[in-house]
């Protein structure tokens, strides 16, 4: 159907699509209701990964995937209101490809892949190659986001989001962090501080290198601060109605510092 | 034509007189989602209206072409300024606003053309096809610059140029020097009322050539006067009926879609419904005036105020609306609830090309309160005194003289209110364990306690109740007592707007208390009875409550005369003597009689201010509230969580104690919104955030526990001794929270709303 009417807009929870329709930002000739497509609405584990269907609502991610995908579950908890979390899912977040999408930082931090399907076949795209620009992605007109495949957590994960209200708020900036204590890698994802969600590659390399993975002591202030500064340096924020570029950079350095401390504390406890 | 499907009358049965808290008659309907709001109106064969608005804040209209819109199938009418049969002008105080723009648009969102079609989407699409040839002009967006001689004049007929009003207060002749002097400049951003029920209503043409308008509004008769003038029709032919109102807060004092729906209904001969969407609503009503306020306070070393000087500029936007009255309020209440021997205040209300501003809960007193309370904190710091002590030391009390020369002639327990909030136990300090919902940033997981600093701050404010400065302020009530179905029934009919505040409950409570009858029917509010004045200015309990009581007193007098003998009162459905002994059953005394009285009731008159000195008996009543705010601030991220917001308020008499607490909670929440999040951001005259995605109002996770003390110090001039309740808590909540954030951060914070950037900035 998507191939036959590529201008049809797929809709699941409608979190973004209905806002655009209601505000008359777009007038698609057709909507493609994904609500009753069973293949999209479940998740399963598969060889150390979770294959998460595109329409699994955030509320289920919070309730069912807190152990396997803790970073994504924490991000899902910050999405909108209970009503929105009952309807919205990761597929729509990716389809909109907003730099402020809450699911994106944990997908980047964990090295998730996005599954795209069309009559031409199925392809998978690494999350950090999915986004092209503000609300632009590699998703072709005849394709649907069908699932994301996320490695099961191999270490502590964190997600933190700054908004000017204590609930139901779009990110001014956000940060996802995933530690892999087996491979000793550090993953990052920055939200709402650039044209797309971003990874902070230099910060990842720095942390992977200097973190004392063997018999871990407490994290030093120097490491936490340097990590925060490298994350802030990776961002390319703008001034907009939700906050200034300078504030976003500053807040990201604080979020990165704090989340690394929390994650590292978990490593030590384990 | 028949009436549309809508909310009818409400019957209040059982008990609950003045001082009780009976359940609202519409409570269950509203909780179940079954209450019919104005957006739910429905009529067979109705059309839908839509509005074309200017995208430019300032432009000349060189041409208008409606032919493409008219060609859309399903469109019944496309109207422009040429189709306004009466005067194409309206306004609450100064008629200066066109129903549909003719040659110039003065703000983004100004209506230019209206369309009626058989489907709302068709109407919107057709409106978008109206072609407007604009010559875009530079907008005047800085209120101070608008007053300069070289600024473009936006309303050529206004004698003051871009000045709507200069309110000037000169009081006392003491020196403008003192031991301790503090100065400051404060800025208040543009707050929106953010009611949840958008502007909506339905006009139904009538066989007599007039029409019936079902409308969510704050003042039916003021709407009717303006509508009739624009339609060129006798007021008697324009009948208004209150439809279900989904919040108001001042935003429904001015007209929005009223005339538009009437024009389309008259042209098409069909009922026409207009409902704004959320984005359109941000352009459909006035907002709170943004303000820049410069203050200078002088005091002795002991902390006694010597003088207060202030200069304030209020940005009224493109049309006057209530700017003149708001300016008068900010000036007359500009020194706050404090005694100062010498006061000099100049307040300017100004035209610009920004969105029009007018009434919003607090009405000029909010802006001044943020500034003078910030100054009192600054003064306390300069004196090395506590913020409460310096306030109490200078607080007005009964008998004090205001900067207008007016003597405060009823209770003014300002010091006591401050002491009440100060002496409450503080909420416990944060423990070692944490719940994200109780930390700044909430569930967004931004801190586990790192960077979080607690602060405490105080605020107190003064608000006038009811209309001021010589306005002929009255309400009308018709009360009828008769036997129906074997029991006595009271009907109460007023034109007062129930906007959620609970007047429907209160009118029944008053009738029950005065007439001793359980069954009270509150008839729908409409213009078949005289004006009730506006549901604003914290005035309806006072003025419409006063009218209902006065009408009940006349009905009671007639019934007692019917009963004769020793009859002295009505209680429990009986006629009683002076000792309360039952003399007769009310049903028997009334028999077939219908006793009815209509009363027009006024509060004591006020006076206009002297234009040079600002002296005069301008306000009928003052009301006071004080807050203590406790906040946790994440000083590294600039995020705030208000931990507790305690309030003490004198309400004269708690007519309905539950409703009083509800008003105090709601007002405090609106003040919290202004303190930390609510602002319409306008750049170059263009609104950047016309949505609830980016215009943020507090959620349940932003509102803290609100312990409340209610004082009841009767005002002998007011019915039952009551004092208006709705606005005072909105004033002092904002400065108390900002003072607490200052205490936590050490930042100056001279602007509201406080943004994270202001807290972490250098």
Q: Going from the first residue of chain B to its last (762 residues), give the mean pLDDT of each consecutive group of 10, the final group possibly shorter.
A: 71 85 93 96 96 98 98 98 98 94 98 98 97 98 97 96 98 96 98 98 97 98 98 98 97 98 98 97 98 98 98 98 98 98 98 98 98 98 98 98 98 98 96 90 95 98 98 98 96 98 97 97 97 98 98 98 95 96 97 98 98 98 98 98 98 98 98 98 98 95 97 98 98 98 98 97 78
Residue after which a domain boundary falls, among B543, B568, B602: B602
Asked if residue B445 is part of any domain, the answer here is: yes
Give the C-alpha separation, B130 to B207, whole Å: 31
Assess whether A66 and A165 both reside in one domain.
no
CA A61 to chain centroid: 13
In chain B, residues with a C-beta closer than 8 Å to the C-beta of A27 are: none
Q: Provide the greatest CA pair distance for chain B.
A: 81
**Residue A39 backbone class (left: φ over 0; alpha: ψ -120 to 50; beta: rest):** alpha
| Phi, psi at B218, each rounded to 5° | -105, -20
Tokens of B27: 């409570």
Tokens of B287: 């907002």
Assess whether B337 and B441 both reside in one domain.
yes
**CATH of residue B388:** 3.30.365.10
Assess whether A226 and A146 both reside in one domain.
no
Assess whether B79 and B121 both reside in one domain.
yes
pLDDT at B7: 63
Asked if residue B383 is part of any domain, the answer here is: yes
Give the C-alpha separation, B619 to B605, whole Å: 9
Residues 75-114 of A with CB under 8 A from B: 77-78
Q: Please state the domain count of chain B.
A: 3
Interchain CB contact of A262 with B (< 8 Å): yes
Cβ contact B689:B680 at 8 Å: yes
Closest-CA residue to B745 (of B647, B636, B584): B636
Cis omega (within 30 of 0) for bond into B753: yes
Give the C-alpha separation, A227 to A213, whole Å: 16
**To the nearest whole angstrom, how far is the Cα of A200 from the nearest Cα of chain B?**
19
Assess whether B521 and B577 both reside in one domain.
yes
Residue after which a domain boundary falls, among B602, B635, B663: B602
Give the C-alpha separation, B142 to B309, whole Å: 23
For A40, B162, B274, B285, the CA distances from A142, given in Å and listed in that order, are 17, 57, 39, 43
Asked if residue A61 is part of any domain, the answer here is: yes
Asked if residue A1 is part of any domain, the answer here is: no
Assess whether B319 and B454 both reside in one domain.
yes
**CATH of residue A230:** 3.30.390.50
Assess whether B427 and B488 both reside in one domain.
no
CA B513 to chain centroid: 28
- Cβ of B760 within 8 Å of Cβ of A250? The answer is yes
The residues near A258 (Cβ < 8 Å, ≥ 6 apart) are A160, B446, B447, B448, B450
| Parent domain of A254 | 157-269
In chain A, residues with a C-beta closer than 8 Å to the C-beta of B681 are: 241
Assess whether B629 and B744 both reside in one domain.
yes
Cβ contact B733:B459 at 8 Å: yes
- Cβ of B451 within 8 Å of Cβ of A163? The answer is no
Assess whether B445 and B480 both reside in one domain.
no
Asked if residue A3 is part of any domain, the answer here is: no
Assess whether B653 and B724 both reside in one domain.
yes
Assess whether B646 and B754 both reside in one domain.
yes
Give the C-alpha separation, A149 to A143, whole Å: 17
Nearest to A262 among B448, B637, B689 (CB): B448
Asked if residue B699 is part of any domain, the answer here is: yes
Residue after which a domain boundary falls, among A130, A151, A172: A151
Nearest to B756 among A77, A164, A166 (CB): A164
**To the nearest whole angstrom, how far is the Cα of A146 from the nearest Cα of chain B?**
27
What helix, strand, coil percent values describe chain B, rounded to 5? 25, 30, 45
- Cβ of A241 within 8 Å of Cβ of B696? The answer is no
Residue after which a domain boundary falls, among B284, B308, B337: B284
Residue after which a domain boundary falls, among A151, A184, A210: A151
Assess whether A144 and A228 both reside in one domain.
no
DSSP bridge pairs for B623: B463
In chain B, residues with a C-beta closer than 8 Å to the C-beta of A162 are: 441, 444, 446, 637, 639, 756
Cβ contact B640:B676 at 8 Å: yes
Give the C-alpha separation, B382 to B379, whole Å: 5
* Helix, coil or strand: residue B508: helix
- Cβ of B696 within 8 Å of Cβ of A169? The answer is yes
pLDDT at B569: 96
Assess whether A179 and A138 both reside in one domain.
no
Per-residue model confidence as pLDDT tens digits over A181-228: 999 999 999 999 999 999 999 999 999 999 999 888 889 999 999 999
Residue after which a domain boundary falls, among A113, A130, A151: A151
Asked if residue B496 is part of any domain, the answer here is: yes
Nearest to B760 among A160, A166, A247 (CB): A247
pLDDT at B311: 98
Assess whether A176 and A123 both reside in one domain.
no
Cβ contact A173:A243 at 8 Å: yes
Which chain A residue has the Cα nearest residue B689? A241
Assess whether A128 and A201 both reside in one domain.
no
Which secondary structure element, helix H or strand E, spans residue A202, and what is its range? helix A201-210
Assess whether A37 and A147 both reside in one domain.
yes
**Residue B74 backbone class (left: φ over 0; alpha: ψ -120 to 50; beta: rest):** left
pLDDT at A124: 97
Asked if residue B456 is part of any domain, the answer here is: yes
Interchain CB contact of A162 with B (< 8 Å): yes
| Parent domain of B202 | 39-137+198-245+252-284
* Residues of chain A scoring pLDDT < 50: none
Nearest to A244 among B637, B689, B757 (CB): B757
**CATH of residue B263:** 3.90.1170.50
Give the C-alpha separation, A78 to B437, whole Å: 11
Asked if residue B554 is part of any domain, the answer here is: yes
Assess whether A180 and A113 both reside in one domain.
no
Assess whether A13 and A145 both reside in one domain.
yes
Nearest to B445 among A159, A164, A247 (CB): A159
Q: Please state the domain count of chain A.
A: 2
ipTM score assigned to the predicted complex: 0.96
**To the nearest whole angstrom, how far is the Cα of B409 from the nearest Cα of chain A?**
42
Place of tokens 């598969």: A46
Give the C-alpha separation, B195 to B522, whole Å: 24
Count CB neighbours of A26 within 10 A: 9
Interchain CB contact of A23 with B (< 8 Å): yes
Interchain CB contact of A138 with B (< 8 Å): no
Interchain CB contact of A225 with B (< 8 Å): no
Cα torsion through B441, B447, B453, B458, rounded to 10: 10
Assess whether A13 and A141 both reside in one domain.
yes
Assess whether A128 and A174 both reside in one domain.
no
Assess whether B546 and B454 both reside in one domain.
no
Assess whether B454 and B578 both reside in one domain.
no
Assess whether A71 and A125 both reside in one domain.
yes
The residues near A21 (Cβ < 8 Å, ≥ 6 apart) are A27, A28
pLDDT at B8: 63
Asked if residue B755 is part of any domain, the answer here is: yes
**CATH of residue A139:** 3.30.465.10
Assess whether B229 and B309 both reside in one domain.
no
């Amino acid at each position: 159907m998507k191939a036959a009417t590529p201008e049809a807009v797929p809709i699941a929870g409608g979190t973004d699509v209905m806002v655009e329709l209601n505000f008359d930002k777009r007038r698609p000739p057709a909507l493609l209701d994904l609500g009753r497509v069973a293949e999209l609405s479940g998740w399963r584990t598969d060889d150390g990964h979770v294959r998460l269907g595109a329409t699994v609502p955030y509320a289920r991610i919070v309730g069912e995937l807190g152990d396997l995908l803790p970073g994504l579950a924490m991000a899902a908890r910050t999405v909108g209101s209970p009503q929105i979390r009952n309807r919205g899912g990761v597929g729509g977040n990716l389809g909109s490809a907003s730099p402020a999408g809450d699911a994106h930082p944990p997908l980047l931090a964990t090295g998730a892949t996005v599954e795209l399907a069309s009559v031409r076949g199925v392809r998978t795209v690494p999350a950090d190659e999915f986004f092209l620009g503000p609300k632009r992605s590699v998703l072709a007109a005849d394709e649907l986001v069908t699932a994301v495949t996320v490695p099961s957590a191999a270490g502590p994960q964190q997600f933190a989001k700054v908004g000017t209200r204590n609930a139901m708020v779009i990110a001014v900036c956000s940060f996802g962090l995933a530690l892999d204590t087996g491979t000793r890698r550090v993953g990052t994802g920055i939200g709402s501080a650039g044209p797309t969600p971003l990874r902070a590659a230099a910060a990842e390399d720095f942390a992977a290198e200097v973190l004392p993975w063997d018999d871990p002591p407490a994290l030093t202030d120097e490491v936490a601060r340097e990590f925060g500064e490298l994350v802030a340096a990776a961002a390319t924020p703008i001034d907009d109605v939700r906050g200034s570029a300078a504030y976003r950079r500053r807040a990201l350095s604080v979020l990165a510092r704090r989340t690394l401390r929390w994650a590292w504390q978990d490593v030590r406890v384990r | 034509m028949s009436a549309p499907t809508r909310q009818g009358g409400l019957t209040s049965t059982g008990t609950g007189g003045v001082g009780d808290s009976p359940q609202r008659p519409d409570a269950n309907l509203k909780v179940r989602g079954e209450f019919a709001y104005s957006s739910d109106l429905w009529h067979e064969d109705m059309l839908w209206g839509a509005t074309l608005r200017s995208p430019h804040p300032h432009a000349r209209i060189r041409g208008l072409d409606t032919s493409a819109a008219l060609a859309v199938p399903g469109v019944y009418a496309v109207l422009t300024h040429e189709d306004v049969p009466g005067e194409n002008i309206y306004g609450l105080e100064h008629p200066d606003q066109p129903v549909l723009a003719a040659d110039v648009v003065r703000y983004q969102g100004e209506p230019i053309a209206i369309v009626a079609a058989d489907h709302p989407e068709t109407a919107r699409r057709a409106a978008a096809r109206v072609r407007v040839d604009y010559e875009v002009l530079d907008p005047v967006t800085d209120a101070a610059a608008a007053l300069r001689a070289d600024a473009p004049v936006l309303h050529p007929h206004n004698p003051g140029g871009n000045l709507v009003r200069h309110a000037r207060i000169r009081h006392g002749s003491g020196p403008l020097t003192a031991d301790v002097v503090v100065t400051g400049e404060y800025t208040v951003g543009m707050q929106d009322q953010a009611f949840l029920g958008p502007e909506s209503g339905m006009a139904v043409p009538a066989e007599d050539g007039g029409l019936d308008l079902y409308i969510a509004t704050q003042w039916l008769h003021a709407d009717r006067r303006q509508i009739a003038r624009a339609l060129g029709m006798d007021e008697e032919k324009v009948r208004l009926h209150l439809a279900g109102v989904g919040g108001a807060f001042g935003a429904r004092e001015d007209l929005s879609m009223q005339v538009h729906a009437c024009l389309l209904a008259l042209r098409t001969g069909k009922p026409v419904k207009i409902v704004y969407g959320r984005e359109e609503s941000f352009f459909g009503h006035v907002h709170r005036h943004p303000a820049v306020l410069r203050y200078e306070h002088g005091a002795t070393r002991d902390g006694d105020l010597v003088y207060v000087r202030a200069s304030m500029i209020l940005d009224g936007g493109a049309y006057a609306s209530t700017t003149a009255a708001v300016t008068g309020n900010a000036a007359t209440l500009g020194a706050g609830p404090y005694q100062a021997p010498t006061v000099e205040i100049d307040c300017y209300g100004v035209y610009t090309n920004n969105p029009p501003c007018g009434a919003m809960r607090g009405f000029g007193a909010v802006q001044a309160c943020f500034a003078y309370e910030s100054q009192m904190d600054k003064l306390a710091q300069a004196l090395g005194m506590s913020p409460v002590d310096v306030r109490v030391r200078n607080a007005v009390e009964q008998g004090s003289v205001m900067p207008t020369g007016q003597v405060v002639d009823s209770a003014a327990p300002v010091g006591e209110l401050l002491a009440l909030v100060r002496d409450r136990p503080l909420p416990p300090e944060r423990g070692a364990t944490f719940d994200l919902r109780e930390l700044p940033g909430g569930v967004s997981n931004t801190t586990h306690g790192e960077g979080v600093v607690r602060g405490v701050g105080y605020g107190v404010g003064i608000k006038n109740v009811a209309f001021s400065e010589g306005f002929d302020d009255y309400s009308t009530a018709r009360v009828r007592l008769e036997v129906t179905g074997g029991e006595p029934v009271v009907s109460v009919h007023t034109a007062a707007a129930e906007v959620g505040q609970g007047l429907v409950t209160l009118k029944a409570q008053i009738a029950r208390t005065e007439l001793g009858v359980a069954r009270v029917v509150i008839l729908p509010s409409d213009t078949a009875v005289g004006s009730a004045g506006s549901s604003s200015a914290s005035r309806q309990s006072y003025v419409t409550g006063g009218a209902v009581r006065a009408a009940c007193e006349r009905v009671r007098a007639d019934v007692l005369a019917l009963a004769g003998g020793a009859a002295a009162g009505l209680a429990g459905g009986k006629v009683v003597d002076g000792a309360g002994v039952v003399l007769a059953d009310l049903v028997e005394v009334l028999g077939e009689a219908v006793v009815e009285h209509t009363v027009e009731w006024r509060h004591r008159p006020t006076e206009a201010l002297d234009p040079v000195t600002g002296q005069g008996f301008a306000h009928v009543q003052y009301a006071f509230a004080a807050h203590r705010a406790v906040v946790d601030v994440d000083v590294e991220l600039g995020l705030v969580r208000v931990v507790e917001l305690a309030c003490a308020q004198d309400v004269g008499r708690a007519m309905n104690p539950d409703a009083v607490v509800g008003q105090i909670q709601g007002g405090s929440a609106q003040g919290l919104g202004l303190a930390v999040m609510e602002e319409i951001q306008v750049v170059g005259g263009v609104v950047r955030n016309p949505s609830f995605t980016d215009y943020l109002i507090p959620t349940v996770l932003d509102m803290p526990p609100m312990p409340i003390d209610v004082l009841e110090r009767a005002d002998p001039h007011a019915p039952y001794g009551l004092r208006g309740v709705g606005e005072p808590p909105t004033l002092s909540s904002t400065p108390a929270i900002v003072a607490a954030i200052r205490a936590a951060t050490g930042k100056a914070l001279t602007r509201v709303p406080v943004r994270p950037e202001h807290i972490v900035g250098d």
